[in-house]
Amino acid sequence: MKHALITASALALLGAPQFALADTSQDFADSFLPTAFVDAPELVECELSDGTTSECYKMTVDNKPDEFTIGPFCPSTTSEDGGLWNWDGDKAGLYRIDGAFLQMLDEQGFHFYDADGTVHISDPRTEQPDVDNACLQASLDDDVTMTLLIPAHPKPAAKPSQLGTVAKVGIALDGVPIFADAPSVLDTGHMPALDVCGGHIDPGGWYHWHATATDIGTALNSANVSADCALQQDATEKFAYAFDGFPIYGSRETNGSMPEGLDECGGHDEGEGYHYHASEGFPNLPTCLKGVVAENNFTTTAAGGIGSEHGGGPGAGQMPPGMEEAAETLGVDPQDLMQALGAPGQRPDLAEVAEKLGVSEETLRNTLPKPGR
């Protein structure tokens, strides 16, 4: 395992950051589990989202840490308990995916099971669901790796960036990437079930978090959900680094006290420097990123899903109808447009997409093809 070291004089050349550095580079690599990486962090030059050039840690992680037990996701029948879902329709909240929950969705018009109680389960890595409402449970692809770039000298952005559906949040110290809210059943009809620790498998075949997994017990308690995540729970522990390089802790300070003066993102500049805290409710992740992020900070060898070359699931690489024309109208490259929109079936943040492409949100909204079912 190679550790990239940075000398004090090299740091001095880069100038003082606006926030105190929470960690030295050695601490950065050492704060991860030894098993977290396929390729350990090394310092590389990188472009940041504010247009400057800086240094980033570049690291490659596996599709899932070895000896990591995941699931359950979708229950096979309504008499079994699956994982978790954060329901955003009527009677919104965090639920265990069990018969009672699926029946509640059934009453709201989402039919995830047959008359005999068999749950419709589909693997979005290999197939398109053949029903309107399927519980999605992707299979792993053991050949897939992900490469991430995290700024080595974190600094605040001019304004925080909101974390919309499946936005990139960070990398957990176990080497598992973290994303904001999974796509809503209300938008897609399908439920990409989370397991009891708040993770699931992307259509690209790799596992990722949608929660601060080492403090999910607090979120389960506050939602009154009965489920046991096998991971060691510790609300005071550092869980991850966000894509802006600032660390993410559980819902408590390291001394056990409640964090004070948290900003709109769920962070504060206290003690060792700026850091985020998990909220007590689900999803217990930062809601925005305070700092600048690296360009192209997440790539994967997977054929589909988030971060893949074409950003697609099954049938990746094909342009949705009308997309080439829309790109031409907007005067942008079709692949750039697809990349900016993110994975299909997931609601993109159009304001963010418009800003990325340098067009107005209204023009974008009027130009994009209307999604079909």
Binding site for Zn ion (CB under 5 A): 182, 253, 259, 270
263 or 324: CB nearest Zn ion: 263
Residue 363: strand, helix, or coil: helix
- The answer to whether the beta carbons of residues 152 and 25 sit under 8 Å apart is yes
4 or 182: CB nearest Zn ion: 182
Q: Please, what is the minimum distance in Å from the beta carbon of residue 334 to Zn ion?
A: 25
347 or 367: CB nearest Zn ion: 347
Radius of gyration of the chain (CA): 21
56 or 74: CB nearest Zn ion: 74
Q: Please, what is the minimum distance in Å from the beta carbon of residue 3 to Zn ion?
A: 27
Q: Please, what is the minimum distance in Å from the beta carbon of residue 137 to Zn ion?
A: 12
Q: Please, what is the minimum distance in Å from the beta carbon of residue 146 to Zn ion?
A: 13
Residue 320: strand, helix, or coil: coil
Q: Please, what is the minimum distance in Å from the beta carbon of residue 302 to Zn ion?
A: 13
62 or 253: CB nearest Zn ion: 253
Q: Please, what is the minimum distance in Å from the beta carbon of residue 341 to Zn ion?
A: 17
Q: Could you give the dihedral angle defined by the CA atoms of residues 327, 331, 337 and 340, in that order, rounded to the nearest 10 degrees?
A: -150
**Whose CB is nearest to Zn ion?**
259
Q: Please, what is the minimum distance in Å from the beta carbon of residue 206 to Zn ion?
A: 10
Q: Please, what is the minimum distance in Å from the beta carbon of residue 216 to Zn ion?
A: 15
Which parts of the chain are beta strand (E)? 39-47, 53-62, 84-87, 93-96, 121-122, 135-136, 145-151, 156-162, 168-172, 177-179, 191-192, 199-201, 207-209, 238-242, 247-249, 267-270, 273-277, 288-291, 298-300
Q: Taking Cα atoms as reference points, which of 133, 123, 138 lies closest to residue 189? A: 133
182 or 196: CB nearest Zn ion: 182
5 or 186: CB nearest Zn ion: 186
Residue in the block written with tokens 């995830």: 112
Q: Please, what is the minimum distance in Å from the beta carbon of residue 182 to Zn ion?
A: 5
- The answer to whether the beta carbons of residues 199 and 137 sit under 8 Å apart is no
315: phi then psi, degrees, rounded to nearest 5: 75, 20
Checking DSSP bridges between strand 298-300 and strand 238-242, what pairing results, if any?
Answer: unpaired
Quote the CA–CA distance of 211 and 200 in Å, as a whole number. 10
270 or 324: CB nearest Zn ion: 270
Is the dihedral angle over the CA atoms 363, 327, 293, 36 positive or is it negative? positive
51 or 256: CB nearest Zn ion: 256
Which parts of 88-194 are beta strand (E)? 93-96, 121-122, 135-136, 145-151, 156-162, 168-172, 177-179, 191-192
Distance of CA 127 to the CA centre of its chain: 22
